[in-house]
């Protein structure tokens, strides 16, 4: 039994070492396109609409108030991405159900339109017509309303005769609320909520043995894997948007295309 346990621990240690050798140190990489998530594929798989609905987003932001300390720095940074508005606009742009119109940078847009009007006025050869801005029928409101840490923690490990390996993990969770508001009446047509677990895990393996009198051999290796926060926020937003569209279909607020 002892031999089997020793062999098992040695195998775990050797396997971990082979993994560490392949991942440490990480190689430099060039910029790549962000990989599409499973929730995005679910969003794209929705049926085609009868017609796209103009929608605006003024503010879809972090409302958690959560901060995390930075290593070796006295300042603090936000624990959740502040770019949720951009993530939501990207998801709206990719789906066929909505036509997103710019509202977050509305002041910049109006400034540019003033410049165009001034250029048209100064140049008589230009047509003095500027199309009106697209009006939205629906406003999407909401945001990231909670970020709870250490919802679940755990791990396992084993050590025998100076050879050991362990693995620990931690789960956090973020929650998204999203509602669709009718611009004409101010009525809240739909409201959905989603959550996404954020998984962090760490694995370590070590060797500790006296090889001779007053000579100690010790080796240790490990790695950690943390889900990127902006990817988790993207998945929660895409899931919320998918639920919003499906709820709107079920309630007859909008209709899919009849094939």
**pLDDT tens digits along 164-193:** 889 999 999 999 999 999 999 999 999 999
Question: How many domains is the chain built from?
Answer: 1
In a domain, 28, yes or no: no
In a domain, 96, yes or no: yes
Does pLDDT of 22 surpass 60?
no
**pLDDT tens digits along 38-78:** 888 898 889 999 999 999 999 898 888 777 655 554 556 67
In a domain, 131, yes or no: no
Whose tokens are 């611009």? That residue is 183
Decide which of 235 and 8 is more confident: 235
In a domain, 53, yes or no: yes
Q: Which candidate, 169, 173, 153, places its Cα nearest to that of 80?
A: 173
CATH number assigned to the domain comprising residue 229:
3.40.50.10610
Supply 116's token pair.
């165009």
**pLDDT tens digits along 93-115:** 999 999 999 999 999 999 999 88
In a domain, 144, yes or no: yes
Q: Which residues constitute the domain of residue 45?
A: 2-21+34-104+137-251
Q: Which candidate, 152, 149, 151, 196, places its Cα nearest to that of 177?
A: 196
pTM above 0.85, yes or no: no
In a domain, 117, yes or no: no
In a domain, 111, yes or no: no
Write the CA distances from 7 to 2, 46, 160, 165, integer angstroms: 9, 52, 10, 13
In a domain, 115, yes or no: no
């Amino acid at each position: 039994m002892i031999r089997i346990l020793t062999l098992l621990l040695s195998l775990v240690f050797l396997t971990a070492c082979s993994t560490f050798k392949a991942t440490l140190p990480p190689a430099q990489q060039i910029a790549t396109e962000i990989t599409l998530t499973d929730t995005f594929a679910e969003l794209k798989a929705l049926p085609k609409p009868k017609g796209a609905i103009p929608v605006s987003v003024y503010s879809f932001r972090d409302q958690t108030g959560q901060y995390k300390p930075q290593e070796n720095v006295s300042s603090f940074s936000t624990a959740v991405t502040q770019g949720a508005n951009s993530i939501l606009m990207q998801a709206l742009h990719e789906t066929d159900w909505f036509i997103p119109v710019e509202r977050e940078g509305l002041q910049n847009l109006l400034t540019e339109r003033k410049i165009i009007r001034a250029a048209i006025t100064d140049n008589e050869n230009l047509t003095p017509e500027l199309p009106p801005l697209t009006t939205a029928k629906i406003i999407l409101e909401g945001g990231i309303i909670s970020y709870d840490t250490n919802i679940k923690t755990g791990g396992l490990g084993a050590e025998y005769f100076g050879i050991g390996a362990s693995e620990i993990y931690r789960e956090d969770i973020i929650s998204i609320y999203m509602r669709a508001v009718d611009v004409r009446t101010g009525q809240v047509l739909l409201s959905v909520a989603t959550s996404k677990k954020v998984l962090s895990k760490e694995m370590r393996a070590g060797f500790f043995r006296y090889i001779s009198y007053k000579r100690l051999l010790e080796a240790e290796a490990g790695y950690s894997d943390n889900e990127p926060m902006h990817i988790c926020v993207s998945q929660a937003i895409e899931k919320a948007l998918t639920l919003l569209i499906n709820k709107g279909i079920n309630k007859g607020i909008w209709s899919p295309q009849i094939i």
